A and B are shown apart, each in its own frame.
Chain A
């Protein structure tokens, strides 16, 4: 008896399951079913009796599965490739990470058949099956996969090891997903030590462990620490001695305020932000082309820090500056954030490239702003954190309407990522007016400065070279050389000038920014196993469900050029009660003052990250940060005015045993200068650092020929700047992904391709070679020696002292001076060095001193 049936999918599955399950057990009693022909497609009906089908399986199909598939899809149930087992019909129907392996409605579209035809997947990976084997498997699938029950080995999904789901209930209780707690400041036994709340949190912890804080750092140490921490440069020795001798009890407070007002503060702290957003100015890949006008984003960051822009606003501008009710040049430049990553202008697979770029944005945004590694859920649910693959694509959907950086050529980049901005259109105050205002202010400032210059001691002339030192120099003469009114006027003028400088003063400019494909986004789907070509369920933008997932009200901006999705994301992230945003940022501020964060894994507050050493303090700081209007400078003041910050780095044998990692903060920690601080300091101490020029297109420093030789076109994309430009601060050096400045690289500068939360600190002989032998070091030593000869023309001992003081910012001891003199004599008398060459050697030595490179 033959029967042809057309059945619905569900019924057919039922039928088939019934059939094959029962057929072998009750073979005799189900005769009528024994010769059913399953027709999957009416136009292509394979026919076979059950006995034939079984025989077909055992002789033709099973050997293929066994030899070609089971090694990865069945042999070891704990270790299934793609989560797929090919050991039973149930498992094939259940499928793996990519969904059911066989589509019963449309067998041709089955993943299994596509894979063996090397369409979508390429299985088996080590070589296509023979044409005959492919034909047999196709027939078998179309037959409904006849499979004698005794040959089936069902590996039920639930039994699969290695796919254990995250324990969501436990994860929900993880500290960083809890609201920032209202904490009270703890009581302490020793009440004289604490100055502010931070100290009481720290001291309470110390007392609990039977530890006591280290004695206060010396004033020499403190001013050096404060200078480097806020502006990334050393003080001049004269400023140190003035601070040390200052009888004013608020001298330290004034120092902090002065440094926070310095225009160089943003150059130091902006760099920390550039690290986490993996700032670079070229695209990587073969051409590694320069990103046009990307430096405006760097300037935007520096200005934002200098202005003490509220951090929530800072995030909103970067994420959605183009979707705000009022778009300005500044907010648009901020969206250059999206243009900092790698861009393949010649991708082998355009869709793959698009999703790689989006992943780069998701990874950077989630780690930098949320302290979460959402990127780990690209191919499967996060293995550790409560973030599902759906969450990943839902977060990605906020960004998916962003146009790629370009398509191929420069014109396409212009089209997708640049706008020509007219200042008049953006603000009410015309740039001409402000430029006039600035000119007037500068003129008046110069007049006042001229009045006091005559009164300067020689060292004050040197201090005067650096703008941020000028106000104190003028104030010092308030009521003597100039009137008090004029001194006050001067201070006001300097503030006004800074405000104007922080504003863009260009009439027309081209801005690198984000652009979307239009007001409506294409639907977004989960990508199975992260493969952009394999679509899973549709998702809409929403924040990760651990935060209480719900759709956000997305409001299209009035200009109609984008979806408004990113603004919705930014608004969620900057809600005052967001559990991560404020914690993550105060932790970063702490990290850069104390050497590491209260949470050491600064980009990972998830379950894989570290728990805070001082959880209450972190929450107290986060609360305070939001209360203070998300302003960083308030936090700097708070942290730096604490006794905790003012501790010395003095070692304590016993405490070192009890708490070797100094988790309880019983001492301050020595730190090495960052790569940028090191280079800037070398130029600063020899008097060549060009501090007066801020902002603008990046500059090129001279690179040794052997470094350029590593490029496929030596020198390509690396220009030549004037000596004055090449002597600017390191933050203004062009960041080319395929060509790094050796000194910055060897001293652990941030990598350009992935977000860098904490820099490595390595100690290597190649660093020593660089500081001893490089053309750069030699040149800096030479300049240093020239300056020393100018300043201290006669006395050898005094010149040694001057050089040492210049790099250590303290007066050297008699023994140190003596050692220097002996050394010079040795070079001149024994090694036959000319006097000036010997001084150059001594300056080189000074630039290599541990005391120059490490901060107490």
Chain B
């Protein structure tokens, strides 16, 4: 009978399975795309190298070559940052009817905590931005604000999974994995997908946030640190001189080549030989990429490296630019880590919390945008800002200014990479509690990001568990064309 083959899919799962334990040569014969077939020459100039992360052609001409996702972990409050609600001033402590849903459950009424910062207009577009972000404020003409975001869960665990992987349960590949899978890396000496964490630790769910889920581990995010050995196991042990390691690698290649010579028809052996040369090259390339001493003092100041409050995030932003410059596709930087006030999760003292986290990030973010722009990189680098959800307009407790989580409406913004700067899209109600106009589910932002990277969100599939899996789910999602320049 006729074999079904819907959606004209590439049956990657089948191919992987067919390849399990079997030679890549057999695989290459089966494949029509260049994914496995690409033959390169490794660092020693001899060994053939097949890199599963080799660069691949996108579906259509991309607007952006790379994404830098500034992840405001914990959920920043929209009405205290970029979603200006002038009518709320003077309403402090008034009880009001409003439907909210956060970690404290569903409520129909709450005590207003009026925005704790003043807003000013910036740029030609006249965007209102709170005093938390005086530096970012000066970049608003390059930024496209989305005020009408919604997510399915107001609970960190599941909301983090959704913002990063599209689903509220773990097991699916993260956004960066999809990009890595769809496009590969143009620099084989660097990972294609990099994650940088806060000094207090990772976010909850830890590495599940940058997992490749049901895809091979090669597509997962690689954690890059701004101090010490930047990548796990990248540096040879201090007690091993470079010459000794080179001598080891040369001898290893000799042994392995003699072994391979007796075993023709097994290209995996050659690939593994070549992978050692590439590893050796990565050892020297990656630290160079991440060496900020090569940047001028002016650039370092631009990112706030001279300011202890924001130097940590500043270094990460500057490293992100250097990586993107060298072909890394997807960089995610976490603002905030660990728990409670170590991130944007302002349940207690809103002022204390947001002052700290905005203070750590405002100057570096503005520095990144300006630096990208002055180097002509902003036009094809997409910068994304946002957390897993926003915060409520009302207080969580009877006392104090803490706000609970809010997935009914929150703000994210995009800049560069083909988005329309100086604009705002969608809106929340007068309290900033619910998205009302042009509501956008997280899926739509994912679809938009993929679209800007030249990938069709509804055609970028990975066959697994009987389904053509997509980042945007089985129903699919369209990019938001109104956000594009």
Residues of A within 8 A of B (CB): 122, 125-128, 170, 173-174, 284-288, 342, 344, 346-349, 352, 356, 363, 367, 373, 375-376, 379, 382-385, 595-596, 600-604, 606-608, 610, 649, 651-652, 656, 660-662, 669-672, 704, 706-707, 709-714, 737-740, 742, 745-746, 748, 751, 753-755, 757-770, 772-774, 778, 815-816, 819-820, 823, 826-827, 830-833, 837, 841, 844-845, 848-851, 853-854, 856
Contacts and interface: CB of A to CB of B under 8 A. Distances in A.
Contact of B19 (A284, A710, A761): A761
Contact of A651 (B155, B208, B264): B264
B284 to A, nearest CB: 12
Given A746-B217, A856-B263, A342 B440 contact: no
Given A128-B436, A769-B234, A831-B241, A713 B171 contact: no
A787 to B, nearest CB: 19
B4 A384 contact: yes
B271 A348 contact: no
Nearest to A597: B17
B239 to A, nearest CB: 7
B252 interface: yes
Interface range for B: 35 or more
B46 interface: no
A820 B252 CA distance: 10
B241 A832 contact: yes
Given A376-B466, A706-B225, A850 B259 contact: yes
A367 B171 contact: no
B148 to A, nearest CB: 7
B282 interface: yes
Contacts of A738: 205-208
B240 A765 contact: no
B260 interface: yes
Contact of A714 (B53, B201, B255, B258): B201
Contacts of A287: 157, 204
A815 B255 CA distance: 10
A377 to B, nearest CB: 9
A137 B161 CA distance: 37
B53 to A, nearest CB: 8
B254 interface: yes
B332 interface: no
Contacts of B464: 754
A767 B275 contact: yes
Nearest to A674: B21
B440 A768 contact: no
Contact of B26 (A608, A661, A711, A770): A661
8 contacts: A126-B440, A127-B437, A286-B205, A287-B157, A649-B266, A710-B207, A763-B272, A764-B275
A841 B152 CA distance: 53
Contacts of B1: 170, 173-174
A830 B22 contact: no
B437 A375 contact: no
A446 to B, nearest CB: 41
Interface string B255-284: 110111001111011011101101100110
Contacts of B348: none
Contacts of B52: 762-764
Given A285-B157, A607-B3, A712-B206, A772 B245 contact: yes
A747 to B, nearest CB: 8
Interface string B1-23: 11110100000011011111111
A400 to B, nearest CB: 18
Nearest to B200: A712
B275 A710 contact: no
**Most central of A761, A765, A833, A856 by chain B CB within 10 Å:** A765
B422 interface: no
B436 A127 contact: yes
Given A347-B153, A601-B13, 11 more contacts: A342-B171, A601-B17, A709-B201, A738-B207, A748-B216, A760-B20, A766-B233, A778-B237, A831-B247, A849-B252, A850-B273
Given A170-B1, A742-B232, A758-B16, A772 B279 contact: yes
A173 B17 CA distance: 25
Nearest to B219: A762
B216 A348 contact: no
Given A739-B207, A763-B272, A754 B465 contact: yes
Contact of A739 (B206, B217, B276): B206
Interface in B151-198: 152-159, 161, 168-171, 191, 197
A408 to B, nearest CB: 12
Which of A122, A385, A600, A610 is the most central at the interface, judged by chain B CB atoms within 10 Å of its CB? A600
A706 B232 contact: yes
B337 interface: yes
Contacts of A815: 258
A773 B233 contact: yes
Contact of A754 (B171, B218, B426): B171
A736 to B, nearest CB: 9
B203 interface: yes
A711 B203 CA distance: 6
A287 B339 CA distance: 11
A348 B150 CA distance: 14
B363 interface: no
Contacts of A856: 263
B155 A346 contact: yes
